[in-house]
Chains A and B, each alone.
Chain A
Amino acid sequence: MKNKTALLKVSNITKSFPIPSSFFSAKKQTFQALDDISFELFEGECLGLVGESGCGKSTLAKVLVHLEEATSGKIVFKETDITHIEKNKLKSVRAEIQMIFQDPFSSLNPRQSIAKTIQEGLDIHAIGTKAWRKEHVRNLLQKVGLESDLVSKFPHQFSGGQRQRIAIARAIATSPKLIICDECVSALDVSIQAQILALLKDLQIENNLSYLFISHNIAVVQYMCDRILVMSAGRILEILPSANLQENAKHPYTKELLKAVLSPEFKQENDTLKKESVDKELRNTNGIIDTGEMLASNETITTGKTTNIASVKDKEIALNISGETAGSLKENAGLQEKKTENEKKEQAYTMTNSFACPFYPRCPQALAICETHVPDGKNFQLGHGMQTVFCHLYD
């Protein structure tokens, strides 16, 4: 990408939903599903969007294709403001911004033949003659790797992977500039997932497409995308190039997410031989923990946490639970405390969205300012790209 032209420019988008008032109080409250979202998507780019469930990924997708209206902010597509577009112009925008969903079955009309499904967009936008449309549909099917004489079949006659191909054929039928893929391979088996990813990549090059590629699977997003947006609780926390994420990620939340990725590789530290830990040796055979031994083990395991272990210990013995160990007990009791603390904070947060940084309740590096002041975006040059981080650690 030499000269980057912004195809889509999103500025300060917010979206709030009313919370049923009985939930918390009589006072009317709103839930902020999207909070001050700004980013650009360049022509020919695949932009990734990662985040955990409920963070607002799908709401953002819906706002972009006008299935939901933004509460405030601005969406500019091909230099035209489409934020509050009139109904009659919406049609032409929809032809250019298409969407592919997670579940190819529920997104396809079961009573409609494949031909009709794919052709629908062409009909709505009155593209081409009738004969041309028919031919075009057959070409599209071939393009997505399906036999063109399947046109008269119905969705239930296809497998999950094939249905997703049909959904892709439908999405590219109107020659869009941008396709929003919302978890579009998440429901597929890995062997099929790779086929669909390859297809999306080929189509991107052939048709100069741009994608907003939404997924919870970070490795897949990295494979597909040039840049990645990291989202949590309705906010963008980091925007960064997709290469070398573990090395380059700056935001504590991004780092936490990356740590949770499970790679299909054997890691030495998981070797069973290594598991001969202290607690195993100290384990009692008859199931009742010997107090003397517990104290001894407490000395060998330094947890540095000041939790009253005695009460837990008594319970332990009374209940006669076998295999318990002092070390992990003590540690758990400590963790428990921290967790409870976090849980309280999180609960407070989910009720009011009251923290300035959404990661504050869980952030190991949180500062006092993080509770009350929304961090600004800080830019960093990274190779040829730009990284933006919303975190007070980089103030």
Chain B
Amino acid sequence: MTLLSIKNLSCSITSKKEKILPLYDINLTLSKNETLAIVGESGSGKSLLCLSLLQILPSPPISIETGEIIFKGQNLLNLKDKELQKIRGKEISMIFQEPMTALNPVFTIGEQIVEMLLTHENISKKDALDKAEYLFERVKIPFAKKRLEAYPHELSGGMRQRVMIAMALSCNPLLLLADEPTTALDLTTQAEILTLIKELKEAYETTMLLVSHDLGLVAQYADNIAVLYAGEFVEKAPARELFSAPKHPYTQALLATIPILDKPKNLTAIKGHIPQGNERLSADILKSPELYLQRGCNFAPRCTYALKKCFDETPPLFSLNAQEQVRCWLHEK
């Protein structure tokens, strides 16, 4: 069953110099219970994708230009603020990279979680407090009751992330957006938190959009993976396929740059750098799509397989089968 589908979503960033598209023509579907990972390097647009789902983009300078976000049959982009607020935090919730930015430093974490429960659920304050305590136990926060009285800065990074998870799960969301949920944490804490998220996700039957730059992480925790490069999907595949037989030259190159524990290999660096500034897609293409078609593959300057065609014509996403899609001329059918 499809829970979420994003169709032709494009966002723009307007600056004095130019107007670019940090996300262009994003299409994806998430089925119930699925964990879909979005991977990409810094600036590829992962966080913007999450923020546009919740429509909490910093606007200006960023705005959604085109597309639909269909959640449970309705287009979120057509909803009024009030209706959206009901969905945010209740049916769709989010875990951020740095929990400190999402928690209010002047309120105790108990106050914050109770507040959240009271907004979304029709329960008494006493019940909300009980539930908050229960949730803290659920995310394995020791001394749960006492910890409710703590202020965010009094907790360790790992504990804060647990609080975030408790809050994100407090209203039984159907969809959980996790943007780099463990990047700020230590290795062993990361492992604990990831196991916790996975366990809770399974118990609560939550669907998850997991955003990460860490291919190791998504290999272990995602069912399906979509690789984002400079605002466009270049490959979508089940985790098994993506790691055993990556199809897109960028995915292949990315995997070749990462050392693997106890499997010595020579690392091959990718030459050049990610498109930046005016190398990014200009918003002009929204008005004249033929400009987009002539731009060429955006990985071409760094690709070892690039042909002349790659610089002159933009490859579409080719479907290899029901599950795998690749944006590369080498896979043209």
Interface residues of chain A, those whose CB is within 8 Å of chain B, are 52-53, 159, 161, 189-195, 197-198, 216, 218-220, 222-223, 243-247, 256-267, 270-272, 275, 277, 279-280, 283, 312, 315-316, 318-319, 321-325, 328, 332, 335-336, 339-340, 343-344
Q: Which of B140, B187, B205, B263 has the most CB of A within 10 A?
A: B187
In the docked arrangement, what's the CA distance between A113 and B82, Å? 52
A264 engages B202 (CB within 8 Å):
no
Q: List 29 A-B contacts (CB under 8 A).
A: A52-B189, A190-B215, A190-B257, A190-B258, A191-B41, A191-B269, A191-B270, A192-B273, A194-B257, A194-B270, A197-B269, A219-B259, A222-B259, A244-B262, A246-B262, A257-B187, A258-B261, A260-B188, A265-B260, A266-B219, A266-B243, A270-B220, A279-B203, A280-B202, A319-B127, A319-B131, A321-B131, A325-B203, A332-B138
In the docked arrangement, what's the CA distance between A194 and B242, Å? 21
- Known pairs A263-B220, A264-B260, A321-B134; list 12 more (Cβ under 8 Å): A193-B257, A223-B264, A256-B188, A257-B188, A260-B188, A260-B190, A263-B219, A265-B260, A270-B219, A270-B220, A332-B138, A343-B143
Contact partners of B273 in chain A: CB under 8 A: 159, 161, 191-192
A260 engages B191 (CB within 8 Å):
yes
A336 engages B216 (CB within 8 Å):
no
In the docked arrangement, what's the CA distance between A339 and B158, Å? 14
A52 to chain B, nearest CB (A): 4
Contact partners of A261 in chain B: CB under 8 A: 187, 216, 261
Q: Which of A194, A243, A270, A336 has the most CB of B within 10 A?
A: A194
Given A266-B243, A319-B130, A343-B142: A53 touches B186 (CB 8 Å cut-off): yes
Q: Does B116 contact A (CB under 8 A)?
A: no
The 6 closest A-B pairs by CB, nearest first: A262-B216, A194-B257, A223-B259, A194-B269, A260-B191, A264-B215
Nearest A-chain residue to B268, judged by Cβ: A194
Contact partners of A159 in chain B: CB under 8 A: 273, 276
Q: Does B172 contact A (CB under 8 A)?
A: yes
Interface residues of B in 255-313 (CB under 8 A from A): 255, 257-264, 267-271, 273-274, 276
Nearest A-chain residue to B212, judged by Cβ: A262
Q: Which of A197, A264, A277, A325 contacts B216 (CB 8 A)?
A: A264
Q: Which of B204, B219, B270 contacts A267 (CB 8 A)?
A: B219
Q: Does B321 contact A (CB under 8 A)?
A: no
Nearest A-chain residue to B199, judged by Cβ: A328
In the docked arrangement, what's the CA distance between A212 and B134, Å? 46
Residue total for B at the interface (Cβ-Cβ under 8 A)? 56
B267 engages A198 (CB within 8 Å):
yes
Q: Does B253 contact A (CB under 8 A)?
A: yes
Contact partners of A328 in chain B: CB under 8 A: 199, 203
Q: Does B46 contact A (CB under 8 A)?
A: no
Nearest B-chain residue to A187, judged by Cβ: B42
Contact partners of B215 in chain A: CB under 8 A: 190, 264
In the docked arrangement, what's the CA distance between A335 and B240, Å? 31
Given A191-B254, A258-B261, A261-B187: A266 touches B130 (CB 8 Å cut-off): no
A189 engages B274 (CB within 8 Å):
yes
In the docked arrangement, what's the CA distance between A246 and B260, Å? 12
A264 engages B258 (CB within 8 Å):
yes
Contact partners of B186 in chain A: CB under 8 A: 52-53, 216
B187 engages A189 (CB within 8 Å):
no
Nearest B-chain residue to A221, judged by Cβ: B259
B261 engages A263 (CB within 8 Å):
yes
Interface residues of B in 183-201 (CB under 8 A from A): 186-191, 199
Q: Does B213 contact A (CB under 8 A)?
A: yes
Nearest A-chain residue to B186, judged by Cβ: A52
Q: Does B154 contact A (CB under 8 A)?
A: no
In the docked arrangement, what's the CA distance between A247 and B213, Å? 28
Contact partners of B259 in chain A: CB under 8 A: 219-220, 222-223
Contact partners of A325 in chain B: CB under 8 A: 203
Q: Does B18 contact A (CB under 8 A)?
A: no
In the docked arrangement, what's the CA distance between A357 and B244, Å? 41
In the docked arrangement, what's the CA distance between A316 and B214, Å? 35
Nearest B-chain residue to A188, judged by Cβ: B42
Q: Does B210 contact A (CB under 8 A)?
A: no
In the docked arrangement, what's the CA distance between A266 and B246, Å? 11
B220 engages A267 (CB within 8 Å):
yes
In the docked arrangement, what's the CA distance between A136 and B319, Å? 53
Q: Which of B142, B213, B262, B269 contacts A339 (CB 8 A)?
A: B142
Nearest B-chain residue to A193, judged by Cβ: B257
A322 engages B260 (CB within 8 Å):
no
Given A195-B269, A263-B219, A332-B138: A219 touches B258 (CB 8 Å cut-off): yes
Q: Does B332 contact A (CB under 8 A)?
A: no
Contact partners of B244 in chain A: CB under 8 A: 266
Nearest B-chain residue to A52, judged by Cβ: B186
In the docked arrangement, what's the CA distance between A244 and B205, Å? 38
A395 to chain B, nearest CB (A): 25
B205 engages A323 (CB within 8 Å):
yes
In the docked arrangement, what's the CA distance between A192 and B240, Å? 26
In the docked arrangement, what's the CA distance between A244 and B258, Å? 17
In the docked arrangement, what's the CA distance between A343 and B143, Å? 9
Q: Does B223 contact A (CB under 8 A)?
A: yes
Contact partners of A322 in chain B: CB under 8 A: 172, 204
A189 engages B41 (CB within 8 Å):
yes
Q: Which of A190, A315, A336 contacts B140 (CB 8 A)?
A: A336
Contact partners of A275 in chain B: CB under 8 A: 202
A57 to chain B, nearest CB (A): 12
Given A261-B261, A265-B260, A324-B203: A194 touches B142 (CB 8 Å cut-off): no
B191 engages A259 (CB within 8 Å):
yes
Given A161-B273, A265-B243, A270-B239: A340 touches B187 (CB 8 Å cut-off): no
Q: Which of A189, A197, A218, A266 contacts B42 (CB 8 A)?
A: A189
B314 to chain A, nearest CB (A): 21
Given A198-B267, A216-B187: A191 touches B253 (CB 8 Å cut-off): yes
In the docked arrangement, what's the CA distance between A192 and B203, Å? 39
